[in-house]
Amino acid sequence: MKVIPFPTMPLENASWEAVDADRVVAGTPTRAHKVLYSSKSDEFHAGIYECSAGKWQVTYAEDEFCTLLEGHVRLTHDSGSAQDFHAPQSFLVPSGFKGTWEAVTPVRKYFVIYEKAS
């Protein structure tokens, strides 16, 4: 079993994709990610993610722990409460969160996701 290093530099040769237009609230955000590890049960994943500035609707079925390497994110719950995070802060988005993800600036982050298999 090998220990997995996580790069600190931007993703190379990443496939960038637009956020689904029906979820976009502001801007024309694009994103890319690379999963660096997935558990045998396929319930636990870790990797690196990048996105351009923009704002879109999110609904979390998974628990996600993030550490910002670069950028500023604002998460706004459907209730209206907003929280801002700046690199190098870390935060956890619990499963069940509904609201918006706003990349106030371009963002690069590490992520760790846990989603119980059905």
Residue-range domain boundaries for the chain:
33-114
User: What is the band of 1 on the pLDDT scale with cuts at 50, 70, 90?
Assistant: confident
The answer to pTM > 0.75 is yes
Peptide bond into 88 cis (omega under 30): yes
CA-wise closest residue to 66 among 45, 40, 43: 45
- pLDDT tops 80 at residue 33: yes
At 60-80, the pLDDT tens digits run: 999 999 999 999 999 999 999
Tell whether the model's pLDDT for residue 10 goes beyond 90.
no
CATH topology of domain 33-114: Jelly Rolls (2.60.120)
pLDDT value, residue 12: 81
